[in-house]
Structure 1
Amino acid sequence: MDIKKEIIEKIRKNRISTTEVADCLGKTGLFENAHCVNRGHFAVGNVRWIYAYNESNWSIHEQARDVQAGDIVMIEAFNCNNRATIGELVSKFMILYREAVGIISNAPLRDANDLIKQNYPVWCNGFTPVGCFNKKIEEPLDEEICYTHREKYDGSIAVCDDTGVVIIPKEHHTVEFLEKLDNIEKQEDTWFECLDRRKWDTYDIVCLKRYLNE
């Protein structure tokens, strides 16, 4: 098993939260404006980056074909003027038929009632009934934008829960990061043991780290 798969499996099996993962990243990694639609979902997986642009979601329909089982699909929108990029139809296709484990987007979606009814694992920037147009744009997305965002996100790892979405960049897919995940879990266990059993206050636990001298 390669190190990326090990990281994904450790987070999945131990349900390591976005809070803990962000701490392992030095309190960074937030994928902004992606909020859970349905409470209680936990998802982690390889990021498949796709996009809409110029008020069209034609490119999303094209790119959705490439989604693989276990992917978390990241949808970004460029020059879409707050139009919804997808709704229930595309969400169902990617989650049910392409077996994505989640959809994340910093843009609005639509069909909120159906996404909620079906309890899909979706994180997005709110909802609007006004969607993108289904028209092919002859001029491609700006090359620099496409390259920069694909390099940044495609192939990274996304962790999603009720708190939000955290991205683990590719440069952190290392043995050292795997060790950080182990350490953060041990720290959390120690902190709550000190709080619940020893009845210490949080100043002793977090600031003074009194347990190191016990």
Structure 2
Amino acid sequence: MMKYSVVIVEDHILLSQALSGLVNGFAKFKILYICKNGKELLTRFKDPKNIPDIVLMDINMPIMNGIETTAALKEQYPQVKVLALSVEEDENTILKMLRAGAKGYLLKDTEKSILENALIQVQETGFYHTKDVTNLLLGSLNPKEENNVVLKDREVEFIKHACTEKTYKEIANDMCLSPKTIEGYRDSIFEKLNLKNRTGLVIYAIKSKLFVP
């Protein structure tokens, strides 16, 4: 059976070796090689034979971190799927990785079976997040309510702007609206979708294909 290729980008040698052993034990995957940082990865990518299906990407690394590297891959090698693997539970860090183009986000204390399932889902469906990370981002989002929500055109426009690095004031300027009106859009959408934060809104936008990272 053909196996999907995976590259690990992780600056902790013992952890990267342990991950390599785990992934090589999965039926559908094999490790192509390991890198210590993003710069080393991009150098290896110059040889087409070194371009994998999936990159397991750490975030905090020297020389070139995971966010910078993911953004570079999105621009130069959009066919490569990035699955973030980090100890970071910070909402802002997760949001930055998603904006950079990561297709999934796993915490490093995740179980072996979840890692395998995440790799499968990212490869076959293009998207995956663990329940813990999804709950962290979405709060109490109810999928049934989400499916019945009808968004106005201007609300959809606001969501697309909210998926960028723009502040709410900058979004107001771009949409030719007052900051107070933008806050009204935000609060209304959060209530409609039962969201608690902007990061949850980005996840909703990605899942709904309103925003493609």
TM-score, scaled to structure 1: 0.29
Which structure has the highest helix share of the two? 2
Name the one with the larger strand percent: 1
For CA contacts below 8 A with separation 6 or more, give which structure has more relative contact order.
Answer: 1
Q: Which is higher, the Rg of structure 1 or of structure 2?
A: 1
